[in-house]
Amino acid sequence: MTRALDIIIDAYERCNRLSPGETLSADDAAFGFRRLGLLVDELSAQSLCLFRDVLTSANQTGNITLGAGSWSSISPGSQIISAACGNLPLDPISIQRYNEQYRPFVTGLPSLYAHDGYATVYLLPSPVAQTITLQTRETVSTFADQTTNYVLPDGWANALGAALAVRIAPNILGQLPQSLVRAEEKALGAVDKYEPAIIDGPSFQSTGSVYPRRLF
């Protein structure tokens, strides 16, 4: 697991302004944290965004309303990556197909789901007291604080540290060494090819995973 503070310390060490094991001052940590937030915004503008995937399960009767009840932790409009009833995966279908196949008062073990793109997830057949699990994906705009632990995929702590070093070097060194630029290019180039996968462990909230992914 990685903290924002770990990334900031790595950046200062790359700039040769902090020795391994040395304590970073509160002012330097605060400056690095501000620049890390700007870095995440910058990468997002380049279509290289941080996402978190969350698995949420609840005992469900009828259709699901995101942002309400047992699903209140999922923001309406979140992308649904997959769904399951118990251990059985559900197949996604369009709203049009759902409307064609829907039969009032027909209940059973659902095998299909349709998301209206906002708050409603329709299940077909309609379940009665079945355990439904949704895997949803949300964009993460920043680190919450300096000390929260995050689960990042391989290479991303290194890439963020290298990129942050480039952004703080002009302020703390008065120059930007080309060695830092080359290290950033190499590190970001490696993770740009990353294919995301679910990673178990704490994330921006109590469950889920965090990873960056190109939007195209």
CA distance 52 to 61: 27
Asked whether the predicted pLDDT for residue 79 surpasses 50, the reply is yes
Question: Is the peptide bond preceding residue 125 cis, with omega within 30 degrees of 0?
Answer: yes
pLDDT at 71 exceeding the cut of 70: yes
In the chain, the percentage of residues whose pLDDT exceeds 90 is 62
CA distances from 32 to 8, 16, 104, 113 (A): 6, 14, 57, 44
Task: Tally Cβ neighbours within 10 Å of residue 10.
Answer: 20
For tokens 């994330």, name the residue.
203
Alpha helices, DSSP H only, in the chain? 4-14, 26-45, 95-101, 156-173, 178-191
What three-state secondary structure class fits 152? coil
**Mean pLDDT of all residues belonging to the chain:** 85
Lowest mean pLDDT among 11-15, 141-145, 181-185: 141-145
Higher pLDDT, 11 or 21: 11
Q: Is the pTM of this model over 0.85?
A: no
